């Protein structure tokens, strides 16, 4: 996979499809690598007529790691933000949105359809609000505005996400079991959970790159960025907010809050979907991304909609 310099860092990326087609930029979530956007999903989008670009966020995968930075003090960051002060962090989501702009510049792409999941949805929101001239359309999946008034994840899910995993070089089986357990904790009830596939994915990711401290620095970036709602009113791109009804990590109220703060945004709550993107939903999600890009979003008319609730 190629690498480029952008916004002062190295960014690992991958492209699919015709370079002359309109681009779809896929932004990954907290602590995850670009391969979480599977090649199968990317190819489905290519079949919709798009050039698809996925990339590793800073501090994840094979992009630049900020290993020389100290570990963030999340409580101190939250206190600083609540006082209107600038917290001391290596970077914020604004920097990560600028990374995406830098990648588009490097690839000589003037405008793209931007799709982000989880933390990537927040980065996508900032990209659309701070750089509207670069965004053709926006899809925010299983994400939030950073509104601290919303209910958060259950204590059990937070514990599963933040508890230390065994080191994969010392206890590979324990590490994989930890990853699979967390994946199952955030999965929705409406779609089969494939333990073997989740295990294979975790193994592929850890063999590609291992950077557990990057997760905490990215979490610090989310905390330091704070509430995005005041910025979302400036978004003019056609926007779809997609969220699972069973999301236990970022509850569906966060998706509703996102849509409510973006003028004209469409909200789609998918019944039975959790904080994941199961393969059985690839075709549906790619389809509504394409519909939003073409400004014809109307999921009730799609033949492949099997479990949607339109909010």
Q: In Å, how far are 21, 53, 179 from 113, measured between CA atoms? A: 11, 10, 31
Question: How many CA atoms within 13 Å lie on the side-chain side of 182?
Answer: 18
Residue indicated by tokens 């099997």: 306
Closest CA to 219 of 100, 37, 60: 60
pLDDT score of 151: 87
pLDDT in tens, 1-48: 799 999 999 999 999 999 999 999 999 999 999 999 999 999 999 999
86: helix, coil or strand? coil
- Compute the distance between CA of residue 55 and CA of residue 208 in angstroms, rounded to an integer: 14
Model pLDDT, residue 299: 55
Domain edges within the chain? 3-152+211-310
What does the DSSP assignment read for 102-126?
A: HHHHHTT-S-EEEEEETHHHHHHHH
Coil, helix or strand for 140? strand
Q: List, for the chain, all residue ranges whose pLDDT scores fall below the cut of 70.
A: 297-311
**Which is nearest to 258 in space by CA: 98, 85, 129, 130?**
129
Dist. CA 129–CA 146, nearest whole Å: 15
Return the pLDDT at 306. Answer: 43
Confirm if 81 and 110 have CB atoms less than 8 A apart: no
Identify the CATH class of 3-152+211-310: alpha beta
Q: What is the pLDDT of residues 102-144, one digit of tens each?
A: 999 999 999 999 999 999 999 999 999 999 999 999 999 999 9
How far from 208 is each of 33, 67, 256, CA to CA, in Å?
9, 17, 35
Lookup: tokens for 54: 């996925």
């Amino acid at each position: 996979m190629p690498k480029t310099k952008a916004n002062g860092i190295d960014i690992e990326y991958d492209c699919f499809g015709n370079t002359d087609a309109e681009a779809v930029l896929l932004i990954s979530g907290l602590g995850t690598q670009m391969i979480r956007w599977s090649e199968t999903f990317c190819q489905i989008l290519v079949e919709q007529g798009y050039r698809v670009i996925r990339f590793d966020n800073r501090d994840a995968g094979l992009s630049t790691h900020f290993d020389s930075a100290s570990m963030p003090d999340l409580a101190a960051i939250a206190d600083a933000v609540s006082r209107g002060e600038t917290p001391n962090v290596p970077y914020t989501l604004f920097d990560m949105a600028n990374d995406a702009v830098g990648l588009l510049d490097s690839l000589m792409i003037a405008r793209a359809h931007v799709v982000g999941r989880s933390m990537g949805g927040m980065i996508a929101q900032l990209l659309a609000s701070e750089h509207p001239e670069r965004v053709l359309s926006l899809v925010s999946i299983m994400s939030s505005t950073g509104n601290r008034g919303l209910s958060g994840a259950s204590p059990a899910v937070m514990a599963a996400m933040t508890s230390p995993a065994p080191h994969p070089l010392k206890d590979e089986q324990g590490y994989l079991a930890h990853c699979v357990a967390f994946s199952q904790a955030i999965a929705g009830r409406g779609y089969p959970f494939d333990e073997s596939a989740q295990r294979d994915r975790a193994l592929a990711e850890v063999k590609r790159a291992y950077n557990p401290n990057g997760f905490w620095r990215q979490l610090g970036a989310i905390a330091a960025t704070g509430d995005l709602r005041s910025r979302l009113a400036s978004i003019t791109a056609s926007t779809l907010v997609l969220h699972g009804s069973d999301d236990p990590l970022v509850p569906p109220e966060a998706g509703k809050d996102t849509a409510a703060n973006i003028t004209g945004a469409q909200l789609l709550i998918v019944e039975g979907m959790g904080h994941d993107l199961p393969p059985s939903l690839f075709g549906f999600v790619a389809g509504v991304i394409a519909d939003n890009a073409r400004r014809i979003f109307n999921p009730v008319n799609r033949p492949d909609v099997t479990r949607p609730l339109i909010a």
